[in-house]
């Protein structure tokens, strides 16, 4: 079993079943999440017999580094991890001025089948456990701490649909948010979904401080269904109702993600339709020229068309940012993550 799959309460229950005092569970918890220890011998505060018992019953390294790639500008790193449980995932570290943002995977492959996304082109393998999600973050935190730095933001925008693995994603966030452990602020997490309406509503009911992003990409049901099959089950009107419900329950801003595809969804007319669709909502549009994948023929919009799209949104009072494309040379950009068989 993956040791990182246990939260603090489960650690305490486990150690009680082993007739160990509670402070031993606290020592293990602190070692994992405060000291970032990853090997049995690191836990020198625990008796040797207890360290051996933990090693016999648990996996302390649920992910194994396979390939590490660095972009030519040195601002992006992508790691291919082999999972002890089976399968592989990719995780990305992006450096921005003072921010160190991780793009985390939640599934091997993805069941959503978005046509422009390399992960969607793979199909679905399996869900990651909460511990496999956590392990990705702790790997990079160890790397950054060695450089005198820290992870500042975590976005669940890597491989997989986070809300398709809802319970494990939320458990990972809660574990990392625990003030007695890693103590990573809820507002520094962002979950991105392709539009699983029931889970958006559940997320709204829980009224968390975690940020929400919606991959939208079209204002037309027919077009969006071609790009994103999830739209056939949860069309745009249902999705917008869920988003407005989220805003009503939380008063927290939603980010709408928009891959600008030349001649598909980057026209001034489409920008006007998007402004009308989002009118009155507390939101922000994150637009990014499409990143290339081998399984999709669409092309990225031009800089001129992207700026025109942005200007129309802002003229209608919708804030919009054209995101920098990062790590394209190592296929680490949005929509480019896949298995080693696809990208390496």
Tell me the Cα Rg of the chain: 21
* Catalytic residue chosen out of the listed positions 90, 132, 141, 270: 90
CA distance 181 to 32: 8
CA distance 202 to 183: 24
CA distance 342 to 124: 14
φ, ψ of residue 89 in degrees (nearest 5): -140, 160
90 is catalytic: yes
CB 110 within 8 A of CB 122: yes
Q: Is 338 exposed, middle or buried (0-12, 13-18, 19+ CB in 10 A)?
A: buried
Instruction: Give the C-alpha distances (Å, rounded to integers) separating 4 from 7, 168, 172, 175, 230.
Output: 7, 11, 9, 9, 31
3-class secondary-structure state, position 18: coil
Instruction: Give the C-alpha distances (Å, rounded to integers) separating 344 from 67, 99, 201, 339.
Output: 9, 28, 38, 8
- Residue among 172, 1, 131 at smallest CA distance from 14: 1
Please give the helix or strand (H or E) that residue 283 lies within, else none.
Answer: strand 283-289
334 is catalytic: yes
Start-to-end CA span in the chain (Å): 29
* Catalytic residue chosen out of the listed positions 110, 117, 320, 334: 334
CA distance 82 to 310: 39
Active-site residue list: 90, 334
């Amino acid at each position: 079993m993956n040791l990182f799959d246990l939260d603090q309460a489960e650690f305490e229950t486990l150690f009680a079943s082993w007739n160990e005092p509670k402070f031993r569970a606290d020592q293990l918890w602190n070692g994992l999440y405060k000291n970032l220890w990853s090997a049995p011998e690191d836990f020198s505060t625990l008796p040797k017999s207890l360290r051996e018992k933990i090693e016999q019953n648990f996996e302390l390294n649920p992910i194994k580094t396979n390939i590490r790639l660095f972009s030519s500008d040195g601002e992006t790193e992508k790691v291919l991890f082999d999972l002890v449980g089976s399968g592989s995932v990719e995780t990305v570290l992006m450096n921005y001025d003072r921010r160190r943002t991780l793009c985390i995977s939640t599934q091997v492959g993805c069941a959503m089948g978005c046509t422009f996304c390399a992960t969607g082109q793979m199909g679905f393998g399996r869900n990651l456990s909460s511990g496999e999600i956590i392990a990705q973050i702790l790997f990079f935190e160890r790397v950054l701490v060695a450089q005198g730095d820290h992870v500042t933001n975590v976005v669940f925008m890597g491989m997989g649909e986070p809300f398709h693995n809802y319970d494990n994603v939320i458990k990972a966030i809660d574990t990392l948010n625990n003030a007695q452990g890693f103590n990573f602020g809820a507002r520094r997490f962002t979950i991105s979904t392709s539009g699983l309406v029931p889970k958006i509503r559940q997320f709204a009911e829980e009224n968390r401080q975690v940020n929400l992003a919606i991959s939208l990409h079209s204002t037309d049901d027919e077009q969006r269904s071609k790009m994103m099959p999830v739209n056939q089950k949860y069309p745009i009107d249902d999705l917008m109702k869920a988003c407005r419900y989220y805003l009503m329950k939380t008063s927290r801003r939603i980010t709408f993600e928009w891959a600008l595809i030349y001649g598909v969804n980057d026209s001034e007319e489409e920008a006007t339709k998007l402004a009308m669709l989002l009118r009155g909502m507390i939101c922000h549009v994150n637009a990014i020229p499409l990143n290339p994948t081998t399984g999709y023929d669409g092309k990225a919009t031009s800089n001129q068309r992207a700026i025109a799209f942005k200007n129309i949104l802002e003229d209608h009072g919708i804030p919009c940012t054209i995101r920098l494309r990062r790590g394209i040379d190592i296929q680490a950009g949005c929509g480019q993550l896949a298995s080693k068989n696809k990208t390496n």
